[in-house]
Structures are given as structure tokens and as C-alpha cells.
Amino acid sequence: MKIYVSLPLDFDEKDMKAFMDGVGHLKKLGHNVVDTTGHNAKSKENAEKLFSHSDKSLKDTDIVIAEVSKSDSKVGYEIAKAFNEKKFVIALESEHAVDKVNPIVHGNKSKNLLHTKYHKDNITAVIEESVKEAAKRLDSKFILIISPEIDRYLDWSSTTKRMHKAQIVRNALEQMMKKDKDYKNYLSA
């Protein structure tokens, strides 16, 4: 799985040692982990490179892990960009962080956000469990071969309702799931 790690621009490696150990564990598990720790944004040219790298990486990733204990505008932007790109965000916060309310994390009820606290002794387990939970929640692609009649309906419906064809199909399936008593029995068993 491709995972983007979002860290504040002024992150201090000794303060984030436990977090970075957890990220290193993901690499050992075989995940493709992309982070910006080696990028310096002190000059305008470097800032443009960092922004370009971050933007491209966010589009290509499956999951974003953001360290939000001392988040800044970079982390906030990357979380917002991830939500815009329909990515799953894991917001990790140190248990030792000063309690300050961050509306992007603490007030957000998105199904694409998992907010968890960690400490140096459990960071590896927290990250591993969070990634497993995120993998369960990720949307999957499904190729559907349809009849010309259904395609005509979807063309008409998408134009009339100003929705993507895929959203129309998802909505129809979600309605069926709500009404399906056998499925509800299966879930409760």
C-alpha cells in the first residue's frame, strides 16, 4: 500500500523519534512510504519543489498518515488535499502533546478520518492497527459491464441529476442494502 506521511515543516527529529520509528516499521512491512523529511523549504525554489512533490504524492497515495501533535499549515493543507482527493487520513497525536483543539482533526466526523493517540511504547502497534483499519475502509474499484439500456439511463440520469454515473450506481446499491433484510441478518449474526 502507498502511504504518504505528513509532518510539520519545523518537525524536530528527536521530538518525533517514536513516530518516525513507527513509520520505519511500515517500510519493514513492505509498504511504499513517502514522506518529506529530506526536503528543505527554506528557499522559494525549494518550497516550490516541496509543494510539487507533496501535491503529486498526495494524488498517488492510498492513505495519508498525519502527525498532528504540532500541526501547521502544511499538515492542514495536506489533510485537506487528501480529503479532496478522497483519500483516507490517519491523524496521529502524541499523548504528551499539549491539549489544543484542532477543528480539522477533533471536529471532523468524516468516515475517511481516523484520529488516534499514541505514545513511544505503542506507536508501532497503533500505526499498524490504524493502517489495517484504513485498508478495510478504502473504496475499491469494480468494473461493471452493463447493457445499452442501462447505459442510456445512466447517461440521462447523470445529465439530469448532475451526478457521476458511478455515484448513481452507488446510491442505488446503498438503497438496496438498507432494505435487504437478509443482509441485515447476516451483519448481525
Write the pLDDT tens digit of every residue in 99-141: 666 666 777 778 889 999 998 899 999 999 999 999 888 877 7
Identity at 33, one-letter amino acid code: V
State the alpha helices, DSSP H only, in the chain: 17-28, 44-60, 73-84, 103-106, 123-137, 148-161, 165-179, 181-188
d(C-alpha 172, C-alpha 186), whole Å: 20
Name the residue with cell 447523470: 158
What are the φ and ψ backbone dihedral angles of 139, each rounded to 5 degrees? -70, 150
d(C-alpha 174, C-alpha 181), whole Å: 13
Tell me if the pTM is above 0.85: no
The CATH number that domain 2-137 falls under is 3.40.50.450
d(C-alpha 100, C-alpha 112), whole Å: 22
**pLDDT tens digits, residue range 61-73?**
999 999 988 888 8
Mean pLDDT of 154-174: 91
Question: Cα angle at 88 between 84 and 89, to 5 degrees?
Answer: 90
